[in-house]
Amino acid sequence: MSDNTQFSFGAATGVGSLPGGDAREAAKTATGSFEDFPFLPELPARGPGADMIGRTAGMLVELYARVEPSGWRIGDRPGRDTKRARSWLGEDLDALEEFTQGWEGQLKVQAVGPWTLAAGLELKNGEAALSDPGACRDLAASLAEGLRLHLAEVRRRVPGAQVVLQLDEPSLTAVLRGQVRTASGYRTHRAVDRQLVEATLRDVVGVHDGGPVVVHSCAPDVPFALLRRAGAAAVSFDFSLLTERDDEAIGEAVEAGTRLFTGVVPGTDGPLSDPAGSVMGVRTLWRRLGLRPGLLAQAVTITPACGLAGASPGYARQALAHCARAARSLADNPE
């Protein structure tokens, strides 16, 4: 396993998605909210191709996808859906470049990981790519190549950036447990072997040569140990879904140098507590695990619980600012 302690992450950042459809406004918010860890926003409200699966499908190399009534389906050639996805990503990168002139420091970009992609993309027969081991292999290889090109493009546009890659894997637990439904909805696909899941993730993580990779899931029962073995430098999760069952895995992850991206600020509109209140649970967890309070700021990055696509624009800006303030509270008063 690689030693992850060489990476120092910013104290707070966003998960990825924001409301609305204005790339410049989103880039301004994502870069203005976090002085040490901005991110490339995603705007799914624009429609198919700006959604999580479609955006990453547009990055694939020599594999193409189109929108069917049932969702995204792998096709033979790039059609208008692929072109639209690529066009929107280009627009987002243009806006990011404009607001990161002279930027030096960490910058996070997001894409869907190989297993959520395999669960979310259909083959020609309408079943998820997950149903076919060969299709899963091809998809992971195409994704790895697409990410390599995407990361190179981000570095070209923001040359001072230390790029952090986030792989979104909300379906990972369902893939491991055999809970992904078939096209009919009456059955589920077989669970994928844990070693194969880990090996595939390791291959995709390895694309970001020398750079840190965060794996994000806002589903319950995040497989912390598996992600650590696959080479993730950090794991991003919804803090409210943790149970004491996760304590041991989290303690081991922290001691191995894995960063925790704790999602403590709600992703949809609602009242926000004071910043210290938002991180109270993190402090409590730390005490329960018997970890040094001084380690908190080195080990934890504060984020919203999940993407903010379902929030109002005003709340999304508030939530990001709140994450930055909560991170400061944690650093100033770790006890």
| Kind and range of the H or E run holding 53 | helix 52-57
Structural domains in the chain (count): 1
For residue 314, the domain's CATH number is 3.20.20.210
Q: How far is CA 275 from the centre of its chain?
A: 23
CA angle 320, 265, 242 (to 5 degrees): 140
Do residues 317 and 29 touch, judged by C-beta distance below 8 A?
A: yes
Q: Is 11 contained in some domain? A: no
Question: What does the pLDDT read at residue 297?
Answer: 86
Structure-token pair, residue 142: 């195409």
**pLDDT digit string, tens, across residues 16-42:** 999 999 999 999 999 999 989 999 999
Do residues 231 and 1 touch, judged by C-beta distance below 8 A?
A: yes
Do residues 200 and 114 touch, judged by C-beta distance below 8 A?
A: yes
- Whether pLDDT at 2 is above 60: no
Q: What is the pTM of this model?
A: 0.96
Question: What does the pLDDT read at residue 294?
Answer: 87
Cβ atoms within 10 Å of 310's Cβ, excluding its own: 15
Helix axes 23-32, 313-332, angle to 10 degrees: 20
Pairing relationship of beta strands 121-122 and 300-304 according to DSSP bridges: unpaired
Q: Is 89 contained in some domain? A: yes
Binned at pLDDT 50, 70 and 90, residue 90 comes out as very high
- Residue 316, CA atoms < 13 Å, CB-side half-sphere: 25
Q: Is 257 contained in some domain? A: yes
Give the Cα separation of 307 and 29 in Å (integer): 14
203 or 7: which carries more pLDDT confidence? Answer: 203
Average pLDDT, whole number, for the chain? 94
pLDDT above 90 coverage of the chain, percent = 90
Domain holding 222, by residue range, is 23-332
Reduced to 3 states (helix: H, G, I; strand: E, B; else coil), residue 298 is helix
Q: Which of 237, 196, 201, 204 is nearest to 219 (CA)?
A: 237
Q: Is 15 contained in some domain? A: no
Binned at pLDDT 50, 70 and 90, residue 281 comes out as very high
**pLDDT digit string, tens, across residues 118-145:** 999 999 999 999 999 999 999 999 999 9
Do residues 4 and 233 touch, judged by C-beta distance below 8 A?
A: yes
Q: Is 254 contained in some domain? A: yes
Q: Is 136 contained in some domain? A: yes
- Whether pLDDT at 204 is above 50: yes
Give the Cα separation of 265 and 243 in Å (integer): 18
Q: Please give the DSSP secondary-structure letter assigned to residue 143.
A: H
**pLDDT digit string, tens, across residues 252-277:** 999 999 999 999 999 999 999 899 99
Q: Is 278 contained in some domain? A: yes
Q: Is 158 contained in some domain? A: yes
